[in-house]
């Protein structure tokens, strides 16, 4: 499992590395010493889990992780901090754990093992998107999903093989989809790997896809996130 450590204190960072490097199941792929660096490293390395100190300089760990999750919604986060005032906020963004300093290794290992188990289950369940369609369930390979749009109470899934309607909300679908997907607008989720071109229209953008006539919408703020994603590939 690929890990990122975001900690500005050198001694704390060395301690976490020393604890983790005892286990061959875990590989540290990047280190960050401030919030801006954390965002950059997450986008570039796409780790499975980030170990994050909230008290990072320039941009605190909580705000940096919120930005990271806009690009990689399924990023697992374990906060390691000396401050307990963000515990509820961590819960709200589905952090895997909130560990208070000084670090107790059994607690850290337990958290990592829990995330590893979730990742293993995800590999087996997230290859296809399962939706209820009419009176049956269908399985759509994620690589075939072009974009998803909200249409009244339904979500319309545009794929390379046709369109499917479901009553699943965009927010629920976003949590199921992998990191190639971006909620580009309140009414759209797009597959960033299937883009053909993007056109600026007033205060927003229209997104066009390869070999597909329908288009999606994108806000300016999400356009900047897309640029970071493409730059990291």
pLDDT at 172 over 90: no
Q: Which phi and psi (to 5°) does residue 196 adopt?
A: -110, -50
* Predicted local confidence at residue 161, as pLDDT: 93
Domain ranges in the chain? 2-125, 128-232
Which residues neighbour 131 within 8 Å (Cβ) at sequence distance 6 or greater? 137, 138, 140, 157, 164, 166, 168
* Predicted local confidence at residue 79, as pLDDT: 95
Q: Provide the b/e sequence for 106-121 (b: ≥16 CB within 10 Å).
A: eebeebbeebbeeeee
Mean pLDDT of 121-132: 69
Q: Three-class SS of residue 196?
A: strand
Which tokens is 83 given?
A: 């401050």
* Predicted local confidence at residue 21, as pLDDT: 83
Mean pLDDT of 136-148: 92
Which residues neighbour 146 within 8 Å (Cβ) at sequence distance 6 or greater? 158, 159, 160, 190, 191, 194, 209, 212, 214
**Chain centroid offset of residue 211 CA:** 27
| Upstream peptide bond of 105 is cis (omega within 30 degrees of 0) | no
pLDDT band at 206 (very low <50, low <70, confident <90, very high): very high
pLDDT band at 178 (very low <50, low <70, confident <90, very high): confident
pLDDT at 233 over 70: no
Please state, in angstroms and rounded to a whole number, the distance separating the CA atoms of residues 18 and 12.
Answer: 10
Mean pLDDT of 45-69: 93
* Predicted local confidence at residue 225, as pLDDT: 82
Q: Nearest 10 degrees: CA dihedral of 93, 220, 156, 190?
A: -80
Decide which of 22 and 35 is more confident.
35
CB distance 68 to 93 below 8 Å: no
CB distance 33 to 7 below 8 Å: yes
pLDDT band at 23 (very low <50, low <70, confident <90, very high): confident
pLDDT at 176 over 90: no
pLDDT at 98 over 60: yes
* Predicted local confidence at residue 123, as pLDDT: 54
Percentage of the chain lying above the pLDDT 90 cut: 52
Which CATH superfamily includes the segment(s) 128-232? Answer: LytTr DNA-binding domain (2.40.50.1020)
* Predicted local confidence at residue 55, as pLDDT: 93
pLDDT, averaged across the chain? 89
Which tokens is 184 given?
A: 């580009």
Nearest Cα neighbor of 49 from 83, 74, 82, 17 is 74
pLDDT at 125 over 60: no
* Predicted local confidence at residue 131, as pLDDT: 87
Please state, in angstroms and rounded to a whole number, the distance separating the CA atoms of residues 11 and 78.
Answer: 18
Decide which of 84 and 183 is more confident.
183
CB distance 159 to 173 below 8 Å: no
State the CATH class of domain 2-125. alpha beta
């Amino acid at each position: 499992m690929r890990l990122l450590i975001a900690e500005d204190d050198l001694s704390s960072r060395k301690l976490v590395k020393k604890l983790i490097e005892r286990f061959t199941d875990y590989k540290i792929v990047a280190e960050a010493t401030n919030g801006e660096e954390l965002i950059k490293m997450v986008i570039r390395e796409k780790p499975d889990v980030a170990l994050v100190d909230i008290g990072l300089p320039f941009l605190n760990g909580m705000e940096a992780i919120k930005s990271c999750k806009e690009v990689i919604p399924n990023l697992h986060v374990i906060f390691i901090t000396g401050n307990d005032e963000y515990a509820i906020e961590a819960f709200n963004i589905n952090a895997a754990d909130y560990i208070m300093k000084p670090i107790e290794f059994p607690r850290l290992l337990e958290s990592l093992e829990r995330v590893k188990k979730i990742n293993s289950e995800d590999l087996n369940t997230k290859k296809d998107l399962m939706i209820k369609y009419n009176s049956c369930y269908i399985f759509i390979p994620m690589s075939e999903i072009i974009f998803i749009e909200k249409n009244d109470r339904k979500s319309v899934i545009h794929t390379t093989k046709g369109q499917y309607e479901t009553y699943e909300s965009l927010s629920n679908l976003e949590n199921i989809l992998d990191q190639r997907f971006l909620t580009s607008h309140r009414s759209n989720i797009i597959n960033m790997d299937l883009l053909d071109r993007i056109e600026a229209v007033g205060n927003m953008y229209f997104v066009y896809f390869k070999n597909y006539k329908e288009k999606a919408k994108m806000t300016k703020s999400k356009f900047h996130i897309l640029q970071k994603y493409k730059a990291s590939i």
